Amino acid sequence: MKTILLTNDDGFYSKGLTALKNELEQKYHVWVVAPDREKSAVSMALTLNHPLRINQVEEKVFAINGTTADCVNIALKKILPVHPDFIVSGMNLGENLSEDIFFSGTVGGAFSGYLYGIPSLAVSLLAGLGQYQRQEFDFAAGAHITAKVLDKLLSHLHNGVIYNLNIPFPNRGEIAVTKLGNKKYTPDIIERIDPRGRKYYWIGTGTPAYADSQGTDVWAVQNKFISLSVIKYDLNSPADLERLTETFIEFKL
């Protein structure tokens, strides 16, 4: 029986994580190592300036006072007796599309697993684009879909990629293999005054703008498909590097 490490960025108490645990442990050895509270939008951040503590909630379920990436690293180094066959990060409550992958703690958990050479999948649920706090999710259905996708991935694994799954509700019950779309944020910066008369600020997501060209993750969920993307951990741009080389080929200081 294969071993699955389950984490998230919504906290170990999240309904999405609980539903996924209940579904996956019917077929796999499931370990849960997740933050003890919500850690959204922290990407692959590691905690360096205060100690981390492990709280065992129940058998094979642990909560850590850190980020998702902290949880993956501590799970692999200090908790699990062996490296898992696969890491699943989620189910996130809200979309992780397009450039969300650079901010998402959920995707950051999958990236952290990839750095250890472990196949990893980030999973997100959505009921409407941009409706972050006003969504209702079918957790059991999302967990069932994720389990079926995981079964397929485990039988056709490829090295060097992270998988990103976005499940809209309602959906067609069909998978669309997609590339990343275009989603641009214009964050709200809200200024307030605290009781001592000092200014403070909250950063909000604002209203993202979406471009939905066919074949992208944004297009897929807008058309009720379940979107499955692959992300490669390679930020190089060969064409731009070649142009830059030509620009500086005879440059001297």
pLDDT tens, residue by residue, 5-30:
999 999 999 999 999 999 999 999 99
Residue 133 has pLDDT above 60, yes or no: no
Question: Domain residues for 174?
Answer: 3-182+211-248
Q: CA distances (Å), 136 to each of 25, 132, 167, 168, 170, in order?
A: 24, 10, 13, 11, 11
The answer to the question of residue 80 being in a domain is yes
Closest CA to 209 of 250, 181, 189: 181
Please compute the mean of the pLDDT values over residues 37-55 and round it to a whole number. 94
The answer to the question of residue 193 being in a domain is no
How much of the chain, in percent, has pLDDT values that exceed 70? 98
Residue 184's pLDDT is 85
How high is the mean pLDDT of the chain?
Answer: 92
The answer to the question of residue 205 being in a domain is no
The answer to the question of residue 221 being in a domain is yes
157-209 pLDDT, tens digit per residue, is: 777 789 999 999 999 999 999 999 998 888 889 999 999 999 999 888 778 88
The answer to the question of residue 188 being in a domain is no
Residue 116 has pLDDT above 80, yes or no: yes
* CB burial readout 80-102, b (16+ within 10 A) else e: beeebbbbbbbbbbbbbbbebbe
Residue 46 has pLDDT above 60, yes or no: yes
The answer to the question of residue 125 being in a domain is yes
What is d(CA 220, CA 224) in angstroms, rounded to the nearest whole number? 6
The answer to the question of residue 164 being in a domain is yes
Q: Residue 36 sits in a domain of what CATH number?
A: 3.40.1210.10
77-87 pLDDT, tens digit per residue, is: 999 999 999 99
Total structural domains in the chain? 1
The answer to the question of residue 194 being in a domain is no
CB atoms under 10 Å from CB of 241, counted, come to 10
